[in-house]
Amino acid sequence: MRGREAGVKGAWLAGLALLPLAALGEQIGEVSTVFKWLGPNDKIVVEAFDDPRVEGVTCYLSRAKTGGVKGGLGLAEDRAEASIACRQVGPIHFRGELKDGEEVFKERTSLIFKTLQVVRFFDRRRNALVYLVYSDRVIEGSPQNAVTAIPIQPWPER
């Protein structure tokens, strides 16, 4: 690589390190909801992701994905509706201090302006983790949201 190219690549990689720690979704399954003659069908996808700062928690997210030609090219805007269910899947251990409203999952749902986000809150009084999924836009967000909570329970050691 030449000097300038290496510098640009290095700056880009350094910028990645500054991004918030967010989980990556693993697709569990999907169902078609609308047949499209050209391009992929509209569908509902189910994804799983582990909370990157809370060991022992997995969240399941279902959301609509727009198909057709625009959807196949990544140019369509997905709907704002989403559902979430998080579960304790092992002993819970915090990786550092938790911040209320901290982003744990984020995915682009339009070419530029719209994202789907999952944020976490820690309800200390009830010893529970609360996860909220919502969609936002640069200009106008959506009030549509879903919430799930996990009471932190002792986990049997094996």
Distance CA 115, CA 78 (A): 9
Domain boundaries, the chain: 22-151
Mean pLDDT (10-residue bins), the chain, 158 residues: 44 36 75 71 86 95 71 56 91 93 78 76 96 77 85 85
Distance CA 154, CA 125 (A): 17
Residue type, 110: S
Residue type, 128: A
Distance CA 28, CA 59 (A): 12
In sequence order, the β-bridge partners of residue 93 are 55
Alpha helices of the chain — where are they, by DSSP H? 3-18, 68-73
**In this predicted structure, what is the pLDDT of residue 59?**
96
**In this predicted structure, what is the pLDDT of residue 109?**
56
Strands (E), 12-154: 26-34, 42-50, 54-65, 82-94, 102-108, 114-123, 128-137, 145-151
Distance CA 129, CA 65 (A): 28
In sequence order, the β-bridge partners of residue 108 are 115
CA angle 104, 107, 112 (to 5 degrees): 135
Q: Is the model's pTM score more than 0.85?
A: no
